[in-house]
Amino acid sequence: MEILMAWRNIWRNPRRTILTVFAIAFACVLLIFMLSLQAGTYEVMIDAAVKTRTGHLQVIAEGYNENRKIRKVVADPDGIAAILDQAPHVTGYTFRANGFALLSSEHRTYGGMITGIDPIRESLVSTVPATIRQGRFLGPGDENAAIVGNLLAKNLKIGIGDELVVLGSARDGSIAASVLRVKGIFSSGMDEYDRAGIQIPLSHFQEIFAMGQAVHEVVAMCDSLWTVSRAKAAIRERLPEFSGKHRLACLSWDELTPGLVQSIQMDLGGGLIFYGILLVMVAFSIMNTFLMAVFERTQEFGTLMAIGANPGRLTKMLVYESGFLTLCGIILGAGIGCLLTLWAQHTGIPMGEAEGMLRQYGIPSLIRPSLSLVTATAGPVLVFLVTMLTAAYPAVRVHRLKPVDAMRAV
Amino acid sequence: MKKHYRRSVIMCIGLICLICLPPALSHAGEPAAENLIARAWDYMRGNTSVSVVHMTVHRTDWERKTTIKAWTKGRDHSIFRIIAPKKDKGNGTLKLKRDMWTYNPKINRVVKIPPSMMSQSWMGSDFSNNDLSKADTILVDYTHDIVAKETDREFTVYVIKSVPRPDAPVIWGMQQLKIRSDGVLMEQAFYDEDMEPVKILTTTDIRDIGGRPFPRQWTMRSMDAESEQDYTLLEYESLTFDTPLRDSLFTLNALRKPAR
């Protein structure tokens, strides 16, 4: 009975109802789309950082992530490999060693970071092999070969087949020097790395930097972002067995790139404020509608009470009314929001001008929102809660009405 | 009357003293800070110098010794060459004014050190490339003030504060030098722009080397080092001044020539 009355009541003033439904729907669409967009951006940022640089997990000498001294090494990489082989969720791992050195071409000299990589294992973990723009990635047979970041190659004025001189300090303090031949040029999309990074075969790195069998990072990938912490716990448990001169630590991507996590938190914080404002505005517009509905129907409520309806039933009816209104808006909004997001996910959103700034976080120029159960439902659920809360006020107010006064009210 | 007379005599003497003494004082007692530094630098280098130095880079868990032979001529020509250990033998560094090159015999290449790398460590030590190549910058890029005087046995030690000129291409906010009156450099402290000390060079074991009192040990300590045990020590094995050196010694060609 109340449900039927509520349904009829909300269509007594179709224009107002439709406007309110649209307001709710609009809030839902915006929330779903923006949340998905943010989630999509973060996923891409994390993915870019994880796949070009940090991996999901790293085993390193304690403190190496803060102060990359060449002497802070993982002395027994094979032992760590044995742990990783048994650790849950780990899908692949590789070894890397890093050194800072002068990189000199025939024309110019720059300081840069040399990473020694295992050419075969690297492709299990990193996207760098897939970002080769010219030439080829390192192969198992390469010795004094290098792949060079595209911006560095441009600065040094070198191309495929050219010579590149490396001059730096080795692990034992002696002078590390080598002449490399450029085999490929990569463009990871991370400007910072493309401007300073070169990669050479790990064996050659260990030779020129007097590393012996030691490496600096054991980089591992997990089957998804969500299983990283479980894998980390399992690895940490077994690390003490292998700690030699330097204690070893196992860090996850968020600990390795605190800057990335902070920029995500900052962006999310800004987003949350925006959503808060949006919800407050929707709340006021709903409240307005419901207050109007109660005030202009005072006579009607008076009559209903006079013929025996108790205030409880009236409240029930009003709650049903606001419920219908909100549900209509949410269903409409969620539908449109999901469709819009899916469409944007399919085509991508070009970022145009902002590209330069985003590139430093490794965000490509085309952003795809990512619709998930969380981003699709969080917005509508919030809107539902807020509107029902605001609608409760007029519904409770009905209790205060006196039938006789109410019938006489204008 | 007699009293009056005596007073005027005293006044006369006083006047004469006033007229005569100030220039004498400023000559003998208060040498200009610039001159002190210039003299100290020339004292260290002579017209030319040839030296053999042991460099020890010390860290808590690690130490490395290198032996370097160095030639200098005038204020801005120098060439360094590693003569031991065997692994690094033949590596050389040439500096002419602000420019610096390094040579590696293993790859037989000369690499020019770019300006952006000048503040990096030289051969893994606590000395930077700048410390070597711009060692004379203090004479050109700074203005100096004597801020204090100390006594060290029979010598006066001048404490000089050197502030870079406004447009000078230097990375320090200030340097503080301690120079003994005979020209021996006792200490050189490098401060950043917040006037916090970054690293301090101290000299010890002053003895007769190359025919003049000269500190045999030079220790550079970084203030941000992980422990007290982190330092770089230079020890002179031999040092001779004013041997005639050809200009052709300070060229890229000479840098490439391995055996000498």
Which residues of chain B have a CB within 8 Å of the CB of A71? 59, 62
- B104 CB within 8 Å of a chain A CB: yes
Task: Residue B228: count other Cβ atoms within 10 Å of its Cβ.
Answer: 8
Which residues of chain B have a CB within 8 Å of the CB of A174? 64, 85, 87-88
Residue in B111, B116, B121 closest to A167 by CB: B111
Nearest Cα neighbor of B226 from A209, A100, A99, A63 is A63
- B211 CB within 8 Å of a chain A CB: no
- B117 CB within 8 Å of a chain A CB: yes
For residues B121 and A169, give the distance between their C-alpha atoms in angstroms, rounded to a whole number: 9
For A322-343, what is the mean pLDDT? 89
Are A174 and B111 within 8 A, CB to CB?
no
Alpha-carbon distance B112 to nearest alpha carbon in chain A (angstroms): 7
Which residues of chain A have a CB within 8 Å of the CB of B104? 167, 175, 177
Taking a contact as any Cβ pair under 8 Å apart, which residues of chain A between 232 and 261 contact chain B? 245
Q: Is the pLDDT of residue A146 over 80?
A: yes
For A250-266, what is the mean pLDDT? 86
A253-262, A345-354, B21-30, B173-182: which has the highest mean pLDDT?
A: B173-182
In angstroms, the Cα distances linking A178 to A68, A102, A144, B86, B121 are 21, 11, 8, 17, 19
Are B87 and A108 within 8 A, CB to CB?
no
Chain B residue closest in CA terms to A170: B124
Instruction: Flag whether the pTM goes above 0.80.
Output: no
Query: Using CB atoms within 10 A of its CB, is residue A262 exposed (0-12), middle (13-18) or buried (19+)?
Result: exposed
Alpha-carbon distance A206 to nearest alpha carbon in chain B (angstroms): 16
Taking a contact as any Cβ pair under 8 Å apart, which residues of chain B between 230 and 249 contact chain A? none
Nearest Cα neighbor of A35 from A294, A371, A403 is A371
Task: Kindly report the average pLDDT of chain A as a whole number.
Answer: 85
Residue in A109, A173, A179 closest to B57 by CB: A173
Percent of chain A residues topping a pLDDT of 70: 95
Are A110 and B114 within 8 A, CB to CB?
yes
For B51-62, what is the mean pLDDT? 87
Are A173 and B64 within 8 A, CB to CB?
yes
- B113 CB within 8 Å of a chain A CB: yes
Taking a contact as any Cβ pair under 8 Å apart, which residues of chain A between 211 and 230 contact chain B? none
Task: Kindly report the average pLDDT of chain B as a whole number.
Answer: 82
| B interface test, pick of A155, A163, A169 with most B CB neighbours within 10 Å | A169
Question: Where are the extended beta strands (E) located within B109-252?
Answer: 109-112, 142-152, 155-164, 174-180, 185-191, 197-209, 212-222, 231-241
pLDDT at A170: 87
In angstroms, the Cα distances linking B159 to A89, A250, B133, B195 are 64, 50, 24, 16
Chain A residue closest in CA terms to B62: A172
Main-chain dihedrals φ then ψ at residue A128, nearest 5 degrees: -55, -45
Are A111 and B111 within 8 A, CB to CB?
no
pLDDT at B90: 87
Are A109 and B61 within 8 A, CB to CB?
no
- A270 CB within 8 Å of a chain B CB: no
Q: Is the pLDDT of residue A327 over 70?
A: yes
Are A245 and B61 within 8 A, CB to CB?
yes
- A63 CB within 8 Å of a chain B CB: no
For the CA atoms of chain B, what is the radius of gyration? Answer: 22
- B107 CB within 8 Å of a chain A CB: yes
For B47-52, what is the mean pLDDT? 90
Contact B200, B188 (CB under 8 A): yes
Which residues of chain B have a CB within 8 Å of the CB of A111? 114, 116-117, 120
Q: What is the pLDDT of residues A55-111, one digit of tens each?
A: 888 888 888 888 888 888 888 888 888 888 888 888 888 999 999 898 999 888 888
Are B109 and A172 within 8 A, CB to CB?
no
- A110 CB within 8 Å of a chain B CB: yes
For residues A304 and A312, give the distance between their C-alpha atoms in angstroms, rounded to a whole number: 12
For B185-207, what is the mean pLDDT? 91
Q: Is the pLDDT of residue B7 over 50?
A: yes
- A106 CB within 8 Å of a chain B CB: no
Are B114 and A109 within 8 A, CB to CB?
yes
pLDDT at B155: 87
For the CA atoms of chain A, what is the radius of gyration? Answer: 31
For residues B62 and B55, give the distance between their C-alpha atoms in angstroms, rounded to a whole number: 14
Q: What is the pLDDT of residues B140-168, one digit of tens each?
A: 889 999 898 888 888 889 999 999 998 88
Q: Is the pLDDT of residue A395 over 70?
A: yes
- B57 CB within 8 Å of a chain A CB: yes
Are A110 and B64 within 8 A, CB to CB?
no
Q: What is the pLDDT of residues A294-316, one digit of tens each?
A: 778 888 888 888 888 888 888 88
DSSP state of A30: H
Nearest Cα neighbor of A70 from B136, B111, B64 is B64
Nearest Cα neighbor of A168 from A212, A213, A110 is A110
Contact B81, B69 (CB under 8 A): yes
Are A175 and B64 within 8 A, CB to CB?
no
Are B113 and A109 within 8 A, CB to CB?
yes
Which residues of chain A have a CB within 8 Å of the CB of B103? none
Alpha-carbon distance B98 to nearest alpha carbon in chain A (angstroms): 16
